[in-house]
């Protein structure tokens, strides 16, 4: 009986944590980051606000965990790179950039987080940046540096431009307009043109850098 009770308690805890995380996402999409208040989150989640402190240690811990669950680059693992070692990361780089483009396009909550990060200094958002950089650094060290050697910094610069550009195009098309440089980013055809351009840039980088 004790084992069943313990298992039930764990399941209840995980359900409650998920309710809090889902509530953060709902509020972020409907009210923006200004609406992320303890009482409002607890109300939407339908769980006592005290549990935010019990499960997450407070609001910062809750927002930290929510951000980790949504951010693309914080969840990229080295396991995805293993089949691509011989190509120097070429296939991996292309795949990750294209996946990021689609992931941000579909994830409206992450779009809100990215905009929030640009508009307000906050510990949780700073932690998001650090997590991205730490994870990205392990990816560079593991597969990119062995291939590019002293030109790795040049590769980093090119990657920075592409990643930030893809972020911007997704947020631009979601908020203030779908046409950018004459390309309608709301259509499959328009987005496919962007993807082909990304593949072209990756190919040129690996062939000419």
Residue 85: its pLDDT value, please? 64
Higher pLDDT among residues 131 and 108, named by residue: 108
Does 43 share its domain with 98?
no
Regarding whether 44 and 106 lie in a shared domain, the answer is no
47-56 confidence digits (pLDDT tens): 999 999 999 9
Q: Which two tokens stand for residue 122?
A: 């906050």
**For residue range 78-106, what is the model confidence (pLDDT) as tens digits?**
555 454 667 788 988 898 899 989 988 98
Residue 64 domain-assigned (yes or no): no
Surface-to-core class of residue 48, CB atoms within 10 Å of its CB (0-12 exposed, 13-18 middle, 19+ buried): exposed
Confidence (pLDDT) at 79:
55
Assess whether 109 and 175 both reside in one domain.
yes
Q: What is the pLDDT of residue 32?
A: 79
Shared domain check, 196 and 154: yes
Residues 6, 83 within the same domain? no
pLDDT for res 130 = 81
Query: Does 102 share its domain with 127?
Result: yes
Report the candidate in 162, 166, 169, 196 with the shortest Cα–Cα distance to residue 185: 169
Check which CATH number belongs to the domain holding 28 and give it: 1.10.10.60
Query: Residues 6 or more apart from 180 whose CB is under 8 A from it?
Result: 169, 172, 173
The phi-psi region of residue 120 (left if phi > 0; otherwise alpha if psi is between -120 and 50; otherwise beta) is beta
Which domain, by its residues, includes 31?
2-59
Which pLDDT score, from 0 to 100, does residue 1 have? 45
- Same domain, yes or no: 41 and 90: no
**Do residue 179 and residue 104 come from a single domain?**
yes
What is the model's pLDDT at position 8? Answer: 60
Final residue before a domain boundary, out of 14, 37, 59? 59
Do 85 and 131 lie in one domain? The reply is yes
Q: Which residues pair with 180 in a beta bridge?
A: 183
Report if residue 66 sits inside a domain. Answer: no
Domain assignment present for 100 = yes
pLDDT digits (tens, 9 = 90+) for 135-178: 778 778 888 888 999 999 999 999 999 999 999 999 888 777 78
My answer on whether 52 and 77 are in the same domain is no
Q: What is the pLDDT of residues 7-48, one digit of tens each?
A: 566 678 888 999 999 999 899 888 877 888 999 999 999 999
Asked, for residue 68, whether it belongs to a domain, the answer is no
134 class by beta-carbon count within 10 Å (0-12 exposed, 13-18 middle, 19+ buried): exposed
Instruction: Judge if 100 and 190 occupy the same domain.
Output: yes
Task: State whether 105 and 170 are in the same domain.
Answer: yes
Type and span of the H or E element at 110: helix 108-119
Number of domains, the chain: 2
* 172 closest CA partner among 116, 131, 111: 111
């Amino acid at each position: 009986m004790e084992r069943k009770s313990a298992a039930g308690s764990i399941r209840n805890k995980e359900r409650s944590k998920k309710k809090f995380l889902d509530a953060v996402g709902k509020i972020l999409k409907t009210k923006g980051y200004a609406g992320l208040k303890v009482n409002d989150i607890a109300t939407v989640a339908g769980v006592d606000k005290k549990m935010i402190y019990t499960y997450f240690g407070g609001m910062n811990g809750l927002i930290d965990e929510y951000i980790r669950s949504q951010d693309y680059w914080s969840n990229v693992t080295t396991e995805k790179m293993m089949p691509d070692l011989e190509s120097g990361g070429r296939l991996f780089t292309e795949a990750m950039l294209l996946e990021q483009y689609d992931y941000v396009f579909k994830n409206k909550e992450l779009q809100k987080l990215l905009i929030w990060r640009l508009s307000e200094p906050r510990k949780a958002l700073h932690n998001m940046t650090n997590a991205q950089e730490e994870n990205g650094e392990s990816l560079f060290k593991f597969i990119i540096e062995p291939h590019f050697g002293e030109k790795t910094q040049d590769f980093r610069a090119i990657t920075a431009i592409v990643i930030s550009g893809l972020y911007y195009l997704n947020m631009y098309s979601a908020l203030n307009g779908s046409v950018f440089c004459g390309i309608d980013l709301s259509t499959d055809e328009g987005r496919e043109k962007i993807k082909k351009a990304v593949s072209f840039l990756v190919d040129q980088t690996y062939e000419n850098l």
